[in-house]
Amino acid sequence: MNFLECLEISSVGLSSLSEGLKQLNCLQDIKLEFSTDSKINDEGLVKISEALKGLTSLQHLFLNFNHCTNITDISLQSVSKCLQKLGYLKKFHLGIVGCAQVTNSGLACLGKGFRKSSEITEFNVSCFWCKNTSLAGKIELRKALENQFPLAKIEIK
């Protein structure tokens, strides 16, 4: 679902979207893209993450929140908790480019988000222009993921 042109979408809209997602429990692929400078914040992304937890057949998850400046580590913690429930997930992409409130702590949460039985083959996080993350945080995330998924293609930008 592409919401790139929806500048007015807010956490209220994401709350409604999350209710609809809960009904799609057999879904295997999902792509959610949101617009630069939208009104999305942690409250909305937490609702989406809660809904995604129930999609236990999910194999491919693509979330793009690039330049959504109200996203913080709270959102990444929520995504991490969601990932713990998705045992069949093979490919994961998270775009948080320019999310200035995201820190190394938030990135570290993502490295802890997967259960041992996960079948991850691809993991991609785009987080450049996040002024509160550093190369050290990205390296820590990569190491955590490589330890859990030695055969996976891991890309941290």
pLDDT in tens, 105-125: 999 888 877 766 568 888 899
75 versus 13: the higher-pLDDT residue is: 75
Residue type (1 letter), 121: T
pLDDT interval class at 62 (50, 70, 90): very high
97 versus 114: the higher-pLDDT residue is: 97
Percentage helix, strand, coil, to 5, in the chain?
Answer: 35, 20, 40
Q: Give the rounded distance of the alpha carbon of 7 from its chain centre.
A: 20
Domain covering 2-156 assigned CATH 3.10.20.810 in the classification: no
Q: What is the pLDDT of residue 34?
A: 80
Give 113's contacts (C-beta < 8 A, 6+ positions apart): 79, 80, 81, 82, 83, 84
Give 145's contacts (C-beta < 8 A, 6+ positions apart): 111, 120, 123, 152, 154
- Quote the CA–CA distance of 94 and 113 in Å, as a whole number: 13
- Mean pLDDT in residue range 61-71: 89
Winning range, highest mean pLDDT, from 7-16, 20-29, 127-136: 127-136
Helices 135-148 and 104-111: crossing angle, nearest 10°?
0
- Quote the CA–CA distance of 20 and 85 in Å, as a whole number: 19
Q: What is the pLDDT of residue 54?
A: 87
Q: What is the pLDDT of residue 11?
A: 72
pLDDT interval class at 4 (50, 70, 90): low
Alpha-carbon torsion (26, 2, 124, 45), positive or negative: negative
Token couple for 37:
């400078």
Q: pTM for this structure?
A: 0.86
- Quote the CA–CA distance of 36 and 30 in Å, as a whole number: 20
pLDDT interval class at 151 (50, 70, 90): confident
- Mean pLDDT in residue range 21-33: 85
Residue type (1 letter), 115: R
Q: What is the pLDDT of residue 149?
A: 81
Backbone angles phi, psi at 96, to 5 degrees: -130, 30
- Least confident segment among 33-37, 49-53, 73-77: 33-37
Q: What is the pLDDT of residue 101?
A: 92
Give me the residue spans of the domains in the chain.
2-156
